[in-house]
Amino acid sequence: MSPLVKPGKSVQIIDPHDQFDSRPSFSHVATSTGPSRIIATAGAVGADGNGKVPANYDTQVELAFSNLHRCLEAAGASVKDVIKLTYYVVNYDVYGRRYFKHLFKFLDGHRPATTLVPVTALAKPEFYFEVEAWAAVRQTPLQKVDVVVVGGGISGLQAAYDIQKAGLSCVVLEARDRVGGKTLSVDPLNEGKVVDLGAAWINSTNQSKMYAMAKAFGLKTVVQNTIGDVVMQDIDGSVSSFPYGGLPTAFLRFPYYEFSI
């Protein structure tokens, strides 16, 4: 009997005859379809961008899968492109596989070939879990377009939009794994507190183009409050206030701030 082949975007899942049923957790065989670019990742562990490792097991495993997801995205791949997963578990408990729920959430129905390796320790004693992946990204024929836009910032995206409105084809090349350039807001502590790393506000006078773009795309805007005092936290942690439109106390004490603002 021929294998059961389920075609996907870039990966085929194969369940050979006379093998035990591995659904829904994994497949016995996974292979790339057509010409593909192969991606290999190092073992992803549960450490954040600063190298901090959570003591909680579940938090650490979830972070390891999140880090692997970022690695795949950076290489232009998705979870659906993964053909092989290998994960290493410290103090493996066959009756209490706590990593399972995080694995299922990460795969989201995808079934690559997988291998579990119980280990006594990983690279650091605080690591409980590590996962690595092989992925295959289907290669598409070279595109022929009228215009190539370099950079997926606001200007590049607007240029691509105008080009397509004019009836021409285009492609946008962006080095990062996201678009938007300096217009990036982040929640560094995952507490719902957003920090703008680039542009923080626009108006219809100084940034008329940006304001018109926000209106054209129906983006939600929030009117900035200009009544009352402004609160500033200085680099030494001190907090002070000053009237809106005025100068902070630190500026009045140290006029050289004028050259660093």
For residue 259, pLDDT over 50 is answered with no
Span 108-133, average pLDDT: 93
Distance, CA of 239 to CA of 241 (rounded, Å) = 7
For residue 7, pLDDT over 50 is answered with no
Span 65-72, average pLDDT: 94
pLDDT higher at 176 or 117: 117
- 81-85, 102-106, 133-137, 244-248: which has the minimum mean pLDDT? 244-248
Residues 86-115: tens digit of each pLDDT: 999 999 998 888 888 999 999 988 989 899
What is the maximum alpha-carbon separation in the chain?
A: 84
Of the pLDDT bands very low, low, confident and very high (cuts 50, 70, 90), residue 182 is confident
* Ranges assigned E (strand) in 69-220: 82-90, 113-119, 129-138, 147-150, 170-173, 185-186, 195-196
- Residue 260 sits at the vertex; the CA angle it makes with 189 and 196, to the nearest 5 degrees, is 25
Neighbours of 127 (CB within 10 A): 19
CATH architecture, domain defined by 4-138: 2-Layer Sandwich (3.30)
Distance, CA of 254 to CA of 233 (rounded, Å) = 15
Q: Give the position of tokens 């794994």.
A: 177
CA distances from 162 to 38, 168, 189, 202, 216 (A): 35, 9, 37, 21, 13
Mean pLDDT of the chain: 84
Report the share of the chain in percent with pLDDT over 70: 90
* Ranges assigned E (strand) in the chain: 4-6, 11-15, 29-32, 36-40, 44-45, 82-90, 113-119, 129-138, 147-150, 170-173, 185-186, 195-196, 229-233, 239-243
3-state DSSP assignment of residue 232: strand
For residue 8, pLDDT over 60 is answered with no
Of the pLDDT bands very low, low, confident and very high (cuts 50, 70, 90), residue 152 is very high
Distance, CA of 116 to CA of 107 (rounded, Å) = 15
CA distances from 26 to 21, 30, 102, 108 (A): 9, 9, 14, 12
Q: Where exactly are the structural domains of the chain?
A: 4-138, 225-261
Question: Structure pTM?
Answer: 0.55
- Residue 55 sits at the vertex; the CA angle it makes with 54 and 57, to the nearest 5 degrees, is 95
Distance, CA of 257 to CA of 261 (rounded, Å) = 6
Distance, CA of 147 to CA of 163 (rounded, Å) = 8
Sheet architecture: strand order including 4-6: 4-6, 11-15, 29-32
Q: Give the position of tokens 């729920």.
A: 101
Instruction: Dig out the tokens for 100 from the structure.
Output: 């399972």
- 2-6, 43-47, 78-82, 107-111: which has the minimum mean pLDDT? 2-6
